[in-house]
Amino acid sequence: MKVAIVGLRLTVGPRLIVDSIAPVFHDLGHEVVFFGQRDYSPPLSIPTIRVSEGATYLGMIRDIFRPGTYREVADALVAERPDLCYFVSVHPANGPLAWTLHRALSFDSRRSPPIAMHLHDPLPHPGMMRLAIFASQQIQVRPADRIVVYGASLARQVHRYYRVPESRIVAIRHGASRPPRAARPAEPPDYRWFSFLGRIEPYKGLEVFLAAAQRLRRANPACQFYIGGAGNLKPYRDTIRAVGGITIENRELTNDETDAVMQASWAVVLPYTSATQSGVIPVAYWNACPVITTRVGALEEVVLPGETGFIVEGGDAAGLSERMAVVSGDHALRRRLGNGAFSFYDRWLRWERIGAELLSRLAG
């Protein structure tokens, strides 16, 4: 089977999908071709057709209003004759492009291949672009044969807010964006901190993490914390100083750095106030690190309380602090939760398994 992966604008999440799923499809024996952002090169030297300037909002606007965009991309897709088209990112051109592709192939006297659209955030995060993203996604799901989401709760959102029949929705898990690992990593001599990792965004609840850290430090001044990720920390500087005991790397961490921090963590903490799914949890499990997260989006679908970590209600700094205190200093509990986290990865979050299931459901 020949799979065309279309990513006209690759933010972090869609880029991870292509990085992870393209090699899996290739290793399963399928031919893969990538259509999309000009400055992106997929792994394994997968054939690439560079058609989009979507790395920036200005480039995306040019793509939308350039008359030749839809015809050029559709012509290239028709020429490749794929058996499946998988759109992995949000872009206002996706819907019109899918319609153009359907029409072009019907004129070519061939059956149009199934078209799948991946929605990372059926209900976009709060912010200036929320309504525009929601409207764009409403348009792009219409010509799609399948809608792919990360979790059952997100599938219910698509059914409810997009009026898409359940039969057209495919729910998969978010895999770990790391090479397959056969055994859990070696346990470190000791654990250093509770970590908050990933790009700093308002919806990720850093203020809740800091409030919980402050409570924990009052009870146990030896507790340490780690904040790692690019983004604006200015609104939190005063609180960070007041809490103390926090190591900060205000930049994008490498995979190796992220893995080292996770393996040295009592737990990775995700106090999100709004979310759909997170790529942080699968990587934490790959590193045999438990997580403490909030009950938002589909996060609770991948956290087993008392087995792989803990779940608290959104915005509950006191509850978060209590769960952190339960783990802190208890090496036996940390070891058991870490083993449970790695077992969950091993069973559910390997991209090679997710990719095989996804292909069977999209092409079936």
Mean pLDDT of each 10-residue bin along the chain, 364 residues long: 92 88 93 91 89 77 76 82 91 87 64 88 84 91 94 94 96 93 92 96 95 96 96 96 96 96 98 89 98 93 97 95 96 97 96 93 82
Calpha distance 14→91 (Å, rounded): 11
Residue 185 in any domain: the answer is no
| Statement to judge: residues 153 and 205 lie in one domain | no
| Statement to judge: residues 210 and 118 lie in one domain | no
Residue 93 in any domain: the answer is yes
pLDDT at 110: 57
Q: Number of structural domains, the chain?
A: 2
| Statement to judge: residues 282 and 299 lie in one domain | yes
pLDDT at 66: 76
15 within 8 A of 40, measured Cβ to Cβ? yes
| Statement to judge: residues 158 and 217 lie in one domain | no
| Statement to judge: residues 304 and 241 lie in one domain | yes
Give the pTM.
Answer: 0.92
| Statement to judge: residues 88 and 216 lie in one domain | no
The amino acid at 327: V
| Statement to judge: residues 279 and 316 lie in one domain | yes
The position carrying tokens 């350039």 is: 66
Write the CATH number for 109: 3.40.50.2000
Residue 186 in any domain: the answer is no
| Statement to judge: residues 113 and 126 lie in one domain | yes
pLDDT at 71: 77
| Statement to judge: residues 208 and 297 lie in one domain | yes
pLDDT at 111: 67
Residue 188 in any domain: the answer is no
| Statement to judge: residues 37 and 153 lie in one domain | yes
Residue 181 in any domain: the answer is no
Calpha distance 224→247 (Å, rounded): 8
pLDDT at 77: 82
pLDDT at 51: 83
Nearest by Cα to 298 from 82, 179, 152, 130: 152
Q: Which domain holds residue 78?
A: 2-175+350-363
Residue 182 in any domain: the answer is no
| Statement to judge: residues 125 and 253 lie in one domain | no
| Statement to judge: residues 169 and 197 lie in one domain | no
pLDDT at 260: 97
